Chain A
């Protein structure tokens, strides 16, 4: 479905703005009343059916818009949209991580998110150019076995010390880990990052996924691991928090180890239904749902987070575009060079 009008608008917007290229003004889609009106929606969801389906039902009850959802991994769906190109049947892509959104944005297969939707979320949690918007946040965190770790590290750089040899688990193929390494490169430089990665090559036990790390720590197999905070809450929900050996510990306030990543969404085909859905994702009811169901950070103001979670305002997040694939490429190079990938 190639839409000449939308493409033309984007082109005109791009041309007029090249001179005074302020990123904020680039996000300048059609006014709502002039987009195609639709009463059904195709959603590609990289987040699970268990989590998303109740939200969809809420959305349909509220707006009368029917939603057809394809559930799969975020990276697979991004690859699928890239292959589908202009002919993608998807209206909205909801992704588990920023990298997959960045891949679609780079291929310019997203339409701009309406400015008023973007404005609901702090800029640092969305695409700088306005191709996608952050929907929920998750913090990097240390999970540890209290029986084996008595002296908790205050910085993620402490983990480079020899006393952590064989005791710390990481998942270098995981998108959140890579985003964290990117942040380290931006804030501390490539040299420091390379040193840290080499230390990890010495110290770390490698896993494929965050979930596997948590399982290993919980089983007493590894002393500690770097994961996203909500994995712990998901497992606690499954087996009962009282049965969890693994505990969580944030690093000192402001430490890079507490980096916040986002899950987000972008518009593949711009129409009234996809705009309504984007707005719904950032509504009070949807944001409360994310906060309660997955223990994630809501990204609009005024929603309470679950007890025990460090407030978002106290977590240092570098002002960088975590979905930028060129940056990601450099990060992958460093991780590879350290022999971790």
Chain B
């Protein structure tokens, strides 16, 4: 067993300690009112919330998995055509905050609410996670084993299930974990669509009764649920399949008669996930009379881009370190770091933010309401997003290549920089883009922790919708979508390039 380099260990342990802050805060709050907490948990309502939440998480995860996998497979492995267009459309919902998506649906279809509404909106909002991870995995692996399977007489469907699926299973599982935890922690969309989950109850405890003990009690249940989900994912992820970097001729599967059907399916999903919100936004600009100030828009744009870029870089550095630790130097401590980082990923952002308010104002006033503390909050909130996307590409770099590099005179751990990171670079970039996108949309933590005066697009959008000033809100929402679309576009261009290089 190799020991991890000091830098990796240092970054990993720091991230782990940071992740423990919200957990420590919750225990502190619970300790302050154990009786009240117990009463809160023993309500029949807690059970109802548990059932609702489980139902939503399971159904959304399954749906996002199916949608995202099919999108990825159709655009990278079949002769569907317009691959680039469909790929961008599949990624784009990522750029739309889920509360905007929910809001645009209720604005267009007033009857839209409850479980099925939440299921649809959350599935649309989260399937890009699966799409990105699975298409990246598909681009990295070559199709020779699939061809072999075909020549051995398996049907297209059998090849898909028995050969292609196992190759992308770890990536799909990691993405599903993100989807599940995203759904657990989502507040805005389920509140607008009026479906009661744990997170909504936690927000209500803060916002209605200002009851921090009850909120903490519910949040701890959420953490336990998270651990269960993570355990489940680790158990059923399957092994990483180390593959040769795709180097051979790639054969696309001919869809035949199902082609129009597949195209129609993708178009429908794109219509719901991108078309409806864009239509709604356009509508906002038309009906309203309020106008957004250009200099305010610019200020918010700069604020958003800066925060997303800084947080993107910081989180990527930590995520690469932890992924390397887990994959290349598997130690017990590394596993613990990995678990602790994931453990609070389902906590609603407001809990993490309040924990840092408590810590910042009372212990480190010099850090309070600074960009540094805000970035720390983003690190706690979104490190798992980066890890989930980067772990697979890093794990898929063949160990033998590193050995070759070592035998050729590259000393020890330098092979990480010379071999592992360059090969895994597309996956790492994908993770970085994903995290920056998520930071771009973030609202509750930004609201509580930003330096006074810092503006972001998401903040402005929220303020405008609170005031019912929809035409003022429209440009902010539109900019968010465009800004989010750019990394999505870049990611896909890169994937396309990789595909064309290996031939068609």
- Report which A residues bind B (CB closer than 8 A): 42, 48-51, 68-73, 75-76, 78-80, 82-85, 87-89, 99-100, 103, 106, 173, 175, 178, 206-208, 211-212, 214-216, 219, 221, 231, 234-235, 237-240, 325, 328-329, 332, 336, 341
Contact across chains for A79 and B467 when beta carbons are under 8 A apart: no
Question: Contact size class for B?
Answer: 35 or more
A127 nearest CB across to chain B (Å): 15
B383 within 8 A of A: no
Contact across chains for A238 and B452 when beta carbons are under 8 A apart: no
A73 nearest CB across to chain B (Å): 8
With A72-B448, A238-B468 given, name 18 new contacts (CB 8 A).
Answer: A49-B463, A51-B467, A71-B463, A75-B207, A75-B208, A76-B448, A79-B206, A79-B212, A80-B357, A84-B362, A87-B362, A103-B210, A208-B194, A231-B468, A237-B289, A238-B471, A325-B210, A336-B45
B265 within 8 A of A: no
- Cβ 8 A contact of B110, one of A76, A79, A216: A216
Q: Which residues of A lie under 8 Å from residue B110 when comparing CB positions?
A: 216, 219, 221
Contact across chains for B208 and A332 when beta carbons are under 8 A apart: yes
B406 nearest CB across to chain A (Å): 51
Question: In the complex the two chains form, what is the Cα distance from A83 to B466 in whole Å?
Answer: 24
Q: Which residues of B lie under 8 Å from residue A49 when comparing CB positions?
A: 463
What are 22 A-B pairs at a CB distance below 8 A?
A69-B452, A76-B350, A79-B206, A79-B207, A79-B350, A79-B354, A84-B357, A88-B361, A99-B208, A106-B210, A173-B207, A178-B208, A206-B194, A208-B194, A219-B110, A221-B111, A231-B468, A234-B468, A238-B471, A325-B209, A325-B210, A341-B208
Closest B residue to A219 by CB, please name it: B110
Question: In the complex the two chains form, what is the Cα distance from A49 to B369 in whole Å?
Answer: 19
Query: In the complex, which of the residues A69, A214, A239 has the most CB atoms of chain B within 10 Å of its own CB atom?
Result: A239
B399 nearest CB across to chain A (Å): 47
Q: Which residues of A lie under 8 Å from residue B210 when comparing CB positions?
A: 75, 78-79, 82, 99-100, 103, 106, 325
Total A-B pairs in contact (CB under 8 Å)? 111
Q: Main SS of the interface on chain B?
A: helix
Closest A residue to B449 by CB, please name it: A80
Contact across chains for B354 and A80 when beta carbons are under 8 A apart: yes
- Cβ 8 A contact of A328, one of B192, B209, B368: B209
B155 within 8 A of A: no
- Cβ 8 A contact of B289, one of A88, A214, A215, A239: A239
B69 within 8 A of A: no
Q: Which residues of A lie under 8 Å from residue B466 when comparing CB positions?
A: 48, 73, 211
Q: Which of B405-461 contact A (CB under 8 A)?
A: 444, 447-448, 452-453
Contact across chains for B467 and A234 when beta carbons are under 8 A apart: yes
B288 within 8 A of A: yes
Q: Which residues of A lie under 8 Å from residue B452 when comparing CB positions?
A: 42, 68-70
Residues A341 and B206 in contact in the complex (CB < 8 Å), given A50-B467, A238-B469: no
Question: In the complex the two chains form, what is the Cα distance from A218 to B209 in whole Å?
Answer: 31
Q: Main SS of the interface on chain A?
A: helix
B290 within 8 A of A: yes
Contact across chains for B204 and A329 when beta carbons are under 8 A apart: no
A98 nearest CB across to chain B (Å): 12
Q: Which of B181-238 contact A (CB under 8 A)?
A: 191-192, 194, 204, 206-210, 212
Q: Which residues of B lie under 8 Å from residue A48 when comparing CB positions?
A: 463, 466-467
B35 nearest CB across to chain A (Å): 15
Q: Which residues of B lie under 8 Å from residue A240 when comparing CB positions?
A: 289
Question: In the complex the two chains form, what is the Cα distance from A239 to B468 in whole Å?
Answer: 10
Residues A329 and B290 in contact in the complex (CB < 8 Å), given A42-B452, A88-B361, A219-B110: no
Query: In the complex, which of the residues B111, B208, B365, B368 has the most CB atoms of chain A within 10 Å of its own CB atom?
Result: B208
Question: In the complex the two chains form, what is the Cα distance from A51 to B464 in whole Å?
Answer: 11
Closest A residue to B357 by CB, please name it: A83
Question: In the complex the two chains form, what is the Cα distance from A10 to B272 in whole Å?
Answer: 59
Question: In the complex the two chains form, what is the Cα distance from A138 to B260 in whole Å?
Answer: 57
Question: In the complex the two chains form, what is the Cα distance from A40 to B449 in whole Å?
Answer: 21
- Which 9 residue pairs across A and B have the least CB separation, nearest first? A103-B210, A75-B207, A84-B361, A221-B110, A83-B358, A83-B357, A87-B361, A72-B447, A211-B468
B152 within 8 A of A: no
Closest B residue to A178 by CB, please name it: B208
Question: In the complex the two chains form, what is the Cα distance from A219 to B287 in whole Å?
Answer: 13
Query: In the complex, which of the residues B45, B107, B357 has the most CB atoms of chain A within 10 Å of its own CB atom?
Result: B357
- Report which B residues bind A (CB closer than 8 A): 45, 106-107, 110-111, 191-192, 194, 204, 206-210, 212, 287-290, 350, 354, 357-358, 361-362, 365, 368-369, 444, 447-448, 452-453, 463, 466-471
Query: In the complex, which of the residues A214, A238, A239, A341 has the most CB atoms of chain B within 10 Å of its own CB atom?
Result: A238
Contact across chains for A89 and B369 when beta carbons are under 8 A apart: yes
Q: Which residues of B lie under 8 Å from residue A336 when comparing CB positions?
A: 45
Q: Which residues of B lie under 8 Å from residue A99 when comparing CB positions?
A: 208, 210
Question: In the complex the two chains form, what is the Cα distance from A26 to B135 in whole Å?
Answer: 68
B196 nearest CB across to chain A (Å): 9
Q: Which residues of B lie under 8 Å from residue A221 when comparing CB positions?
A: 110-111
B32 nearest CB across to chain A (Å): 12
Closest B residue to A100 by CB, please name it: B210
Q: Which residues of B lie under 8 Å from residue A103 when comparing CB positions?
A: 210
Q: Which residues of B lie under 8 Å from residue A68 when comparing CB positions?
A: 452-453
Q: Which residues of B lie under 8 Å from residue A85 when comparing CB positions?
A: 361-362
Question: In the complex the two chains form, what is the Cα distance from A208 to B470 in whole Å?
Answer: 17
Q: Which residues of A lie under 8 Å from residue B289 when comparing CB positions?
A: 237-240
Q: Which residues of B lie under 8 Å from residue A212 when comparing CB positions?
A: 106, 192
A41 nearest CB across to chain B (Å): 12
Closest B residue to A231 by CB, please name it: B468
A15 nearest CB across to chain B (Å): 26
Question: In the complex the two chains form, what is the Cα distance from A69 to B451 in whole Å?
Answer: 11
Closest B residue to A174 by CB, please name it: B208
Question: In the complex the two chains form, what is the Cα distance from A76 to B349 in whole Å?
Answer: 12
Contact across chains for A83 and B354 when beta carbons are under 8 A apart: yes
Question: In the complex the two chains form, what is the Cα distance from A84 to B227 in whole Å?
Answer: 30
Closest B residue to A85 by CB, please name it: B362
Question: In the complex the two chains form, what is the Cα distance from A221 to B113 in whole Å?
Answer: 13
Closest A residue to B201 by CB, please name it: A341
Q: Which residues of A lie under 8 Å from residue B448 when comparing CB positions?
A: 72, 76, 80
B168 nearest CB across to chain A (Å): 38
Closest A residue to B191 by CB, please name it: A208
Q: Which residues of A lie under 8 Å from residue B368 when comparing CB positions?
A: 89
B203 nearest CB across to chain A (Å): 9
Question: In the complex the two chains form, what is the Cα distance from A171 to B107 in whole Å?
Answer: 17
Q: Which residues of B lie under 8 Å from residue A341 when comparing CB positions?
A: 204, 208
Closest A residue to B354 by CB, please name it: A83
Question: In the complex the two chains form, what is the Cα distance from A78 to B210 in whole Å?
Answer: 8
Question: In the complex the two chains form, what is the Cα distance from A87 to B364 in whole Å?
Answer: 11
Contact across chains for B469 and A50 when beta carbons are under 8 A apart: yes
Closest B residue to A44 by CB, please name it: B452
Question: In the complex the two chains form, what is the Cα distance from A49 to B453 in whole Å?
Answer: 11
